[in-house]
Structure 1
Amino acid sequence: MRTLKTRAAVAATTGALALAGILGTAGTASAAPAAAASAQRTEVTEAGDAQATLALYNRKVWKTVNHRAAPDGDSTLIGRLYAGTYYTVSCWRYGETVTAEGTTNNVWIFSKNGSGRWGYASAIYFSGNKYADLPLTARC
Structure 2
Amino acid sequence: MSTRTFARAALVGAGALALLGPLTAATAFAASDTGRGADRVMAAPYAVVPYETVNVRSGPSTSYDKVGSVTAGQPRGAYCWVTGQTITDNGYTNNVWVKLVEGYVSAVYLKGDKYGDLPASARC
Q: Where on the TM-score scale, by shorter chain, does this alignment land: which range?
A: 0.5 to 0.7
Q: State the partner residue of 2:83.
A: 94
**1:133, CA displacement in angstroms?**
1.2
In the alignment, structure 1 segments of 5+ residues that lack a partner are 1-25, 33-41, 45-54, 113-117
Quote the Cα distance in structure 2 between the aligned partners of 1:96 and 1:129: 18
Aligned residues: 89
The 4+ residue runs of structure 1 with deviation greater than 6 A are none
Three-state SS of the structure 1 residue aligned to 2:108 is helix
Q: State the partner residue of 1:138.
A: 122
Output the TM-score relative to the length of structure 1: 0.58
What are the residue-to-residue correspondences of 1:103-118 with 2, within 5 Å?
103-112=92-101, 118=102
Q: State the partner residue of 2:71.
A: 82
Three-state SS of the structure 2 residue aligned to 1:85 is coil
Output the TM-score relative to the length of structure 2: 0.65
In the alignment, structure 2 segments of 5+ residues that lack a partner are 1-26, 34-41
Q: Which structure has the greater CA radius of gyration? A: 2
* Contact 1:109 1:121 survives alignment (8 Å): yes
Q: C-alpha root-mean-square deviation of aligned residues, in Å?
A: 2.3
Alignment pair present for 1:127 and 2:116: no
Q: State the partner residue of 2:15.
A: none
